[in-house]
Amino acid sequence: MKRPEIAWIGTGIMGRAMCGRLIEAGYSCTVYNRTREKALPLLDAGARWAETPAEAAENADAVFTIVGFPADVEAVILDPETGVLAAWDPERAENGDGKKKIVVDMTTSRPSLAVRIAQEAEKRGVWALDAPVSGGDVGAKNGTLSIMAGGCREAFDALEPIWKVLGTNVRFQGPAGMGQHTKMVNQILIAGNMLGVCEALRYAKSVGLDPAEVLGSVSTGAAGSWSLSNLAPRILRDDFAPGFKITHFVKDLRIALDEAHSAGLELPGVELAERLYAELMDAGLADSGTQALVKWPVCE
Ligand code: NAP
């Protein structure tokens, strides 16, 4: 594929950093976000602004979306007036060098919605990928994300140069929806890990240990993890800014539980994490980072 013209939709914590890397790498980008102010750093860096996702997609070869919730994904890709696919029809499905246009949803969203998007894309003669990510705000800034893709293999291969800018571990997991299922596996792992990290720090403090020294000991042993290395130090600094918002994690845990129940599977650890994080949301911490689990119970 010639160097593709990019549209980027969703310029929050993750999207702003990821699109920023593409601009730095020399890609020409048009951006759209619900709140224009959050796209200003990208506009300053040379991106063009579009008034709707469809306008952003108009002249793009590849459109990337990373918004909040499945309903937002539905709005930005499938809305019949303003969505990405509304800008593309079978007569304009190719990008100029014989390859099809591609829409890539990188939001953590429902596998069934990824399947629906792939079906709608096929009707318009374009390609779709679900490609959620892991690696947090740090990975987005440093281009070290893990990217888990599902959908059309040819589209995945065509985007290789872009994957290299965004991530260091980029894998194709199967047909539409399988990227999202892989991300659910990731979130199930994180659910248990966050419970462990937060309970361990509370224990260390309550028995009179120096938590920073304790972290020095345990983070390089068998208990080491991304959350322990990146989020535990934020807890020690009383830094509860997101990172990864609690409201998004609760969304993910609920998707994982729905999918597990559909498969006849019980996930008691995920159920516990969902309950504790939902309590934090009810206590007003929806937009705090997931490390705020250390504050549970909030009334303590
Ligand atoms: P965020 O900071 O809330 O960013 C989401 C952005 O999407 C916001 O700027 C928001 O606009 C925009 N948006 C939402 N709905 C929209 C719509 N209907 N139309 C246009 N723009 C819309 O969240 P984030 O942390 O970047 O996370 C984005 C997604 O990636 C979530 O699904 C999250 O679960 C997932 N994720 C996050 C992380 C992480 O560590 N942060 C890691 C992996 C995956 P406004 O500016 O108006 O709010």
Residue nearest to atom 46 of ligand 1 (CA): 35
Distance CA 146, CA 129 (A): 15
The stretch 155-169 carries a mean pLDDT of: 98
pLDDT computed for residue 92 by the predictor: 73
Would you say residue 300 lies in a domain? no
Ligand 1 mean position to 248 CA, how many Å?
A: 8
Query: How many domains does the chain contain in total?
Result: 2
> Are 115 and 43 found together in one domain?
yes
Distance CA 177, CA 150 (A): 6
Ligand 1 mean position to 244 CA, how many Å?
A: 10
Would you say residue 266 lies in a domain? yes
pLDDT computed for residue 89 by the predictor: 82
Residue 65 near ligand 1, beta carbon < 6 Å: no
> Are 35 and 127 found together in one domain?
yes
Question: In the annotation, is 183 catalytic?
Answer: yes
Query: Which run of H or E residues covers position 128?
Result: strand 127-130
Nearest atom in ligand 1 to 134's CA: 43
> Are 199 and 249 found together in one domain?
yes
CB atoms within 10 A of CB 188: 19
Residue 118 structural domain: 6-176
How many Å is the Cα radius of gyration of the chain? 20
Residue nearest to atom 19 of ligand 1 (CA): 34
> Are 106 and 212 found together in one domain?
no
> Are 33 and 167 found together in one domain?
yes
Residue 34 near ligand 1, beta carbon < 6 Å: yes
Q: How confident is the model at residue 299 (pLDDT cuts 50, 70, 90)?
A: low
Over residues 173-221, the pLDDT tens digits come to 999 999 999 999 999 999 999 999 999 999 999 999 999 999 999 999 9
Would you say residue 270 lies in a domain? yes
> Are 119 and 200 found together in one domain?
no
User: Is the CB of residue 107 less than 8 Å from the CB of residue 9?
Assistant: no
pLDDT computed for residue 94 by the predictor: 74
Over residues 68-97, the pLDDT tens digits come to 999 999 999 999 999 999 999 877 777 766
CATH code for position 222: 1.10.1040.10
Q: Is the pLDDT reported for residue 99 higher than 90?
A: no
pLDDT computed for residue 96 by the predictor: 67
In the listed set 176, 206, 240, which residue is the last one of a domain according to the structure? 176
> Are 47 and 193 found together in one domain?
no
CB atoms within 10 A of CB 259: 18
Q: How confident is the model at residue 222 (pLDDT cuts 50, 70, 90)?
A: very high
For the record, the structure tokens of 104 come out as: 């890539």
> Are 46 and 170 found together in one domain?
yes
The stretch 236-253 carries a mean pLDDT of: 98
Report the largest interatomic distance among the alpha carbons of the chain, rounded to a whole angstrom.
69
Q: How confident is the model at residue 298 (pLDDT cuts 50, 70, 90)?
A: confident
Residue nearest to atom 37 of ligand 1 (CA): 244
Q: Is the pLDDT reported for residue 300 higher than 60?
A: no
Residue nearest to atom 1 of ligand 1 (CA): 12
Provide, rounded to the nearest whole percent, the portion of the chain with pLDDT above 70.
98
Pocket test for ligand 1, best of 8, 9, 11, 14 (most atoms within 8 A of CB): 14
Q: Is the pLDDT reported for residue 292 higher than 60?
A: yes
In the listed set 155, 176, 197, which residue is the last one of a domain according to the structure? 176
pLDDT computed for residue 1 by the predictor: 61
In the listed set 176, 204, 238, which residue is the last one of a domain according to the structure? 176
Q: Which is catalytic among the residues 99, 100, 101, 183?
A: 183
The stretch 273-277 carries a mean pLDDT of: 98
Residue 139 near ligand 1, beta carbon < 6 Å: no
Nearest atom in ligand 1 to 251's CA: 34
Would you say residue 14 lies in a domain? yes
Would you say residue 113 lies in a domain? yes
Would you say residue 1 lies in a domain? no
> Are 153 and 242 found together in one domain?
no
> Is the whole model's pTM more than 0.95, yes or no?
yes
CATH code for position 120: 3.40.50.720
> Are 165 and 33 found together in one domain?
yes
Residue 150 near ligand 1, beta carbon < 6 Å: no
> Are 21 and 161 found together in one domain?
yes
HEC letters along 74-110: HHHHHCCCCCHHHHCCHHHCECCCCCECEEEECCCCC
Mean pLDDT, the chain, integer: 96
> Are 193 and 279 found together in one domain?
yes
Ligand 1 mean position to 14 CA, how many Å?
A: 7
Residue 136 near ligand 1, beta carbon < 6 Å: yes
